[in-house]
Amino acid sequence: MLYTARRAVPMDKYNRKLFESFLRFQESAKCSSTMNVNSHGPTFQGLNATSLGLCSFALTAFCVSMYLIGATVPVNVSMGVIMGAILFYSGATQSLAGYPEYCDGNNFGALTFCSYRAFWLSLASLYIVAFDFLAGYKNESVLNNAIGVFFLHGQFFTALVLLSSLRTNLVTIALFFFLLICFILLTSSKFLNEHQNLQRASGAFGILTTPLAWYSAFAHLLNKSD
């Protein structure tokens, strides 16, 4: 026979059922609370988003750098052919890599993938005729200076990423070091009214980043601990 906590008075059948229902509710509430504490949103165990983000960055950077150095195509030719890679392989795919990095607590990977994804999309939007962003610039020198300011923000951001990468590994440090040199030379070429030698040099350093990015991507992919 069950007794109440305050008075040793036997409970009738109705009160006994009510008390047992309360105990079951209390137990289910404890289980639900434990589940909520242990679940922090979707997990991505077994998914290596770093490899995907690095591969998408490497291919697009390689294509753009080939245009910058004038390999197989004249210098300063329209980059319309590689807009697909900029918009989709880097623009869209790097966002798919950035979100799992956030969920896994990798703030460095999430920041770099999402930020460079936004950079690629911003760059592509400048050269999409339908957007007509550059139509207001009638003077070529003013246009080059404006684009130089755009690349300048990429230069500053890459410098900060390079400083943050000093706690990672040598390959990542070298990747962002060469990328920073690429941005510095490319920005300088725009401020000097599309100086072709500086543009070719920036493309050369851009190409140097691509094998490092691919190496890092497949090192993460083949690492059994990832």
pLDDT tens, position by position, 74-131: 656 666 778 888 888 888 888 888 888 888 888 998 899 999 999 999 988 888 877 8
Which of 38-42, 193-197, 218-222 is least confident? 38-42
Q: What is the mean pLDDT of the chain?
A: 81
Quick: pLDDT tens for 137-152: 888 899 899 999 999 9
Give residue 33's pLDDT.
46
Q: Given a cut of 60, is residue 11 above it in pLDDT?
A: no
Output 14 or 185, whichever has higher pLDDT.
185
DSSP string for the chain = --B-SSS--B--HHHHHHHHHHHHHHHHHHHHHHHHHH--S---TT--HHHHHHHHHHHHHHHHHHHHHTSSS-TT---GGGHHIIIIIIIIHHHHHHHHHHHTT-HHHHHHHHHHHHHHHHHHHHH-TTT-TTTT--SHHHHHHHHHHHHHHHHHHHHHHHHHGGGS-HHHHHHHHHHHHHHHHHHHHHHTTS-HHHHHHHHHHHHHHHHHHHHHHHHHHH-TT-
Task: Specify the pLDDT at position 43.
Answer: 54
Q: Residue 13 has what pLDDT?
A: 62
pLDDT value at residue 100? 84
* Residue 201 or residue 40, greater confidence: 201
Q: pLDDT at residue 35 above 70?
A: no
Mean pLDDT of 157-180: 95
More confident residue, 154 or 45: 154
Q: What is the mean pLDDT of residues 45-68?
A: 86
The residues spanned by each domain of the chain are 49-222
